[in-house]
Amino acid sequence: MLTGGGESCADIEHLRLQSDLFGSVASDSTVHWTFHELDAETLGELAKATAEVRATVRDRLGLNAKKEPVTLDIDASIVEIHSENKEGAAPHFRGGFGFYPMFCFAEASGEALSARLRPGNASANTVADHVAVLDGAIEQLPAAVDSAGCTEGFVNN
């Protein structure tokens, strides 16, 4: 659903309309509740699985064989919402209401390696959020990626 351009759980309905192609597809309610029941352990397992798939894709594209540096870009972005009743949302510095998630991208490929959902009033300069999103991004990179002169122990801690 996300690969096809979906932006919310309700967009799963587009896949349900093409059962010949996609087979049985969960309802938008099932998708919504599934996402809301994810705990830290499950999210960790999903991150590991995603890293394995990412490494396979990067191998097939020949990206892991290149010795070019992987530059990580950490950035936060306002996500405006239209209801003050969304859990975790808050007023933000631009006078609106929503979220201020922080992301870490692989600059050259544009891959979103990790993200952290934060309320709209979160600071752009929160060290704990920077460290968390960077840790998540590093976990998504293959172990063979050069750490720009850092030891593997430093990068992995």
Could you state, in order of their start, the residue ranges of all structural domains in the chain?
1-37, 38-155
pLDDT digits (tens, 9 = 90+) for 84-97: 667 777 878 777 88
How does DSSP classify residue 24?
Answer: S
HSE at residue 49, side-chain half, CA atoms within 13 A, is 6
Nearest to 81 by CA among 71, 91, 70, 72: 91
Could you tell me the pTM of the whole model?
0.64
pLDDT digits (tens, 9 = 90+) for 60-114: 877 767 667 778 999 988 888 876 667 777 878 777 888 889 999 988 778 889 9
